[in-house]
Structure 1
Amino acid sequence: MSDPERTAAPVDYAPVRAAYDTVADDYAARLPDTRAEAPLDLAMLDHFAATVSASGAGAVLDAGCGAGRISRYLADRGCAVTGVDLSPGMVAAAQRAHADIAFTVGSIADLPYPDDSFDGVLLWYSTIHTPPEQLGPVFREAARVLRSGGHLLVAFQSGSGTRDVSPAYRRLGHDVELHRYLTTADEVVPLLEAVGMSETCRLVRSAHGHEADQQTVLLARAG
């Protein structure tokens, strides 16, 4: 990951889509809101919402929105939120729970929106199933749909290596294969800079509760 311009083969997201389609209803029931977030995480989301609303119309893309719980949080803070997720099952759950927000199916690596569409893009733990060396296209897409001066907020588990998260879902009766990849702020920031964004704020906190890893939240500005 030392070269942020390095190209890599496209990620095969089909297994990720299949896994989240399988667990969508359980996921939505167990994580209906932001109760899993630490106060520092919510502070970063609050700052993002306020910053985006102050700098534009407050149009935010929740890219990798899952069942829409963070979309709801941002909408309740005045943002005009659109959600997109790879999993049709997750999008269906989001639509049921939050009928006033627009959700659609799509990949964070190939967003179904025109250039310069949003004042803010949120990648809230939605990059974690992409290998670190293949994150470039994801951030290029985020930069493409951001308006000049817009803001990106990205959150992920910090560290190195891979975690198998399949056992957690198997305990709920779901036979899925799902892994997440760890990376660091110092590795991600050059990727953001390579697509014309600059870091404006960084939170790195220790694990709490049932978390196994440090957590990072980065705020960056386009243009």
Structure 2
Amino acid sequence: MVPQSRFRAAPLLAALLSLPLVAQGMDPSDPDYDPLEDDSLWGETVSPEDTQTTSPELKFLLEEPDRIPHHHQNQIRITQSSLEDGWADLRQCHNDVAAIRRMVIVYNEEKIDELQVESTRNIESARAEGDRVDLRGVESDAEVCVTARMKIVEHEGDGVYRLENGPFVRRFLDGYFPMRVTMAVSWGDLDLRLEETQPEEQDGFDVVASDHGFVFDTLFEGELRTLVRLRNSY
């Protein structure tokens, strides 16, 4: 499973988490409308000189950049039924979203269910319908949180379960900008343990595991793809 998600804003942001998601400025009168061609939609301008890098190569950052980076936070809850059918509970928040007049977040219809807007901050309106969330009047210091069921768990056999995500990327034209991703996966009292993460734990990619789940937190530039393997403890 190679799920993807994209989130268009100003600057262009693609934040991919295990299911295809596209957020973009849109004109309902033209289904082929490309917001990247309409400067009037952007609530801020981005200069090429502000670009951190023009390479998609992953680079972990050890210090916070001058500008607060977009923060993509995910909480995933795995249950016994998740191990059987692949469906897990998701709570997902986007913090410090760049200001834009209108955008739509679109998920993979086959991988998402029960999508709902949980809360917003500094957003005029947010409506979930089917496989998408329509945002209007996004201001500075905005946040949107959603809940859903998503199909993310894949059984590889021999008691090993795979969670694959990405790429996570914050991009505008040819430039890549810093982004922070936090993912917390919990499985309660299920007999699971964290066997492997890719990338592995290192400076800039912190992993904390327990008997009931794990969290990774990272600040980076470029494109981040993650692979997690869990194993039954028995």
Flag the structure with larger Rg: 2
More strand by share: 2
Structure with bigger RCO (C-alpha 8 Å, 6+ apart): 2
Task: Compute the TM-score of the two structures, normalised by the length of structure 1.
Answer: 0.29
